[in-house]
Structure 1
Amino acid sequence: MGKRGQMTEDRIYHTPQHPVPPFEFNAAVVNVFEDMIHRSVPMYAEIIRQQARMIQLGYHPGTRIYDLGCSTGNLALALCAGMPAGSFEMVAVDSSKPMLDAFARRLAGWPHRRQIVLRHGDIRNVEMANASVVAVNFTLQFIPPTDRDQLVQQIHDALVPGGMLLFSEKTTHADPRFADLQTDFYYRFKRENGYSDLEISQKREALENVLIPETLHDHHARLNRCGFTAVDVWLKWFNFCAWICIK
């Protein structure tokens, strides 16, 4: 495979596949994940950078940070770069073992490694408590919609008063005119980042019924049902959004 800087280039959908298998976070995806996420998610680096800063402001000593759907550890490593070793405690959870293995390799050189606990499992089954911050980045969209209320309620209940939920999602729009516009600009973004129409089409097919986006209204209604007292979209790029929610 080719290289983009220090990242292995994402060429998973470069050649025709018949049929296109459902998307999963397997070893092949993990191998190209850094290239894939930066070329496929607008403003991803900015989301991680600013979330790390918000966590530094919102974290209370003696509490925990949970990163649900932590992937290869980008948020944790951003925290390590900005907070002294021993100054926070994080539990990072992912259902993909290859993701966690990559996370562990990246974390090995940091003095913070003993304060970050990696857990392999379904985030719906994680016992959480005494959390000042919970981060969920581009993960809720992969959870069955019928289970999302319960997960967000668990997060809310695990947060200390004033605790923060930071999450990011790909969204959709109830008005088809805006939905079409958002999709058009998103595919332009991917083409500008070097993906071909074949790659875009096959990735879309792979994610069908795997990634199920919701509208802003859907998300806000759930957050209100689950008891969050303050909700703000601090970043929006067409159909990609990042929230800060306070208990």
Structure 2
Amino acid sequence: MSAHYSHYDALENMKRAVADGQHRSVIGGMWDELGALQKRFLLDQGLKPHHRFIDMGCGSLRAGVPLTEYLDPDRYYGVDISQDLLDAGYEREIVPAGLASKLPRDHLTANPDFDATGFGVMFDYGIAQSVFTHMPISRLTDCLKALAPVFVEGGRFYVTFFERPEDVAAEAPVPHDPGGVVTYPDRDPYDTTLTALRAATSAGWRLDIIGHWDHPRDQRMALFVRETGQD
């Protein structure tokens, strides 16, 4: 059982929101904008249709729809803590979009441990968009350790974060522009310093800071590259 870092971890509340038809809004809205932004960014980063892709914290498939559309059949996979969000994304978005033949239902799994080993494949690319903005950055270490066995050498995993300037007092809230989000070091929405982000990087991964990537709420981007012969 995972700790409750944010509303995403309150699974019964999530179930009710999905039942009320809020599978888009409950994950933060901006459905078309953020789905398209992720696809555009990943293509600019070299994602090709044949690559195997893991969407960590995929929710109700905001990015899953445009990425499934772009990728070859059977190449998109998703993990989320909420089975209800996965079901809603598949039944209310993937199926009506005519994409079910490209995305087998068993390519989506619900677990709180970032576990993608059950898919039995190796991934070339992946993303965790607006995941570690809702939990402490220390959980990133757990995620990278979980993903290391299922990423190819040179595989690229992208992670968004809210940046906390190094010179801001540890307890002070940080406002972000654009977007108007106010973040905190110890509660949702979470931020992190670059020093803490580097400290959370697990062995076997190389961190590159990308920074701005046109996110409308000022989330920044980090890239983790799977290194040779590491575990």
The TM-score, its normalising length taken from structure 1, stands at 0.64
1:216 aligns with 2:206: no
CA contact (8 A) 2:130 2:160 kept: yes
The range that moved more, 108-117 or 69-78, is 108-117
The 2-side partners of 1:234 and 1:89 are apart by 27
1:156 aligns with 2:134: no
2:111 counterpart letter in structure 1: G
1:48 aligns with 2:34: no
The 2-side partners of 1:146 and 1:232 are apart by 17
**Secondary structure at the counterpart of residue 210 of structure 2:** strand
- Residue 229 of structure 2 corresponds to which residue in structure 1? none
Higher gyration radius (CA)? 1
Match of 1:98 among 84, 94, 99: 84
2:77 counterpart letter in structure 1: V
- Residue 165 of structure 2 corresponds to which residue in structure 1? 173
Match of 2:67 among 58, 74, 79: 79
Q: CA 1:158–1:113 in 2, change beyond 3 Å: closer, same or farther?
A: closer
Aligned pairs, number: 205
Percent identity over paired residues: 11
- Residue 66 of structure 1 corresponds to which residue in structure 2? 54
CA contact (8 A) 2:5 2:135 kept: no
**Secondary structure at the counterpart of residue 24 of structure 2:** helix
1:24 aligns with 2:2: no
- Residue 244 of structure 1 corresponds to which residue in structure 2? 223
Residue 77 (structure 1) shift: 1.1
CA contact (8 A) 1:52 1:78 kept: no
CA contact (8 A) 1:89 1:115 kept: no
Q: CA 1:234–1:23 in 2, change beyond 3 Å: closer, same or farther?
A: closer
The two structures, once aligned, show a CA RMSD in angstroms of: 3.9
Residue 78 (structure 1) shift: 1.3
Deviation track 1:94-131 (CA, whole Å, cap 9, x = no partner) reads: 11122112111111131313277111211334427511
Bigger helix fraction: 1
1:235 counterpart letter in structure 2: H
Deviation track 1:191-222 (CA, whole Å, cap 9, x = no partner) reads: xxxxxxxxx89xx89xx735432222222333
**Secondary structure at the counterpart of residue 161 of structure 2:** strand
The 1-side partners of 2:22 and 2:81 are apart by 18
The 2-side partners of 1:229 and 1:184 are apart by 27
Deviation track 1:45-87 (CA, whole Å, cap 9, x = no partner) reads: 56413244257x34584x7322111011122211123234x2x
**Secondary structure at the counterpart of residue 88 of structure 2:** helix
CA contact (8 A) 2:58 2:80 kept: yes
The range that moved more, 139-148 or 88-97, is 139-148
**Secondary structure at the counterpart of residue 117 of structure 2:** coil
1:117 aligns with 2:104: no
1:97 counterpart letter in structure 2: Q
Residue 155 (structure 1) shift: 2.1
Higher relative contact order (CA 8 A, sep 6+): 1
The 2-side partners of 1:80 and 1:60 are apart by 9
The TM-score, its normalising length taken from structure 2, stands at 0.68
**Secondary structure at the counterpart of residue 229 of structure 1:** strand
Deviation track 1:131-151 (CA, whole Å, cap 9, x = no partner) reads: 111221111344455443132
1:235 aligns with 2:212: yes
2:87 counterpart letter in structure 1: D
1:209 counterpart letter in structure 2: R
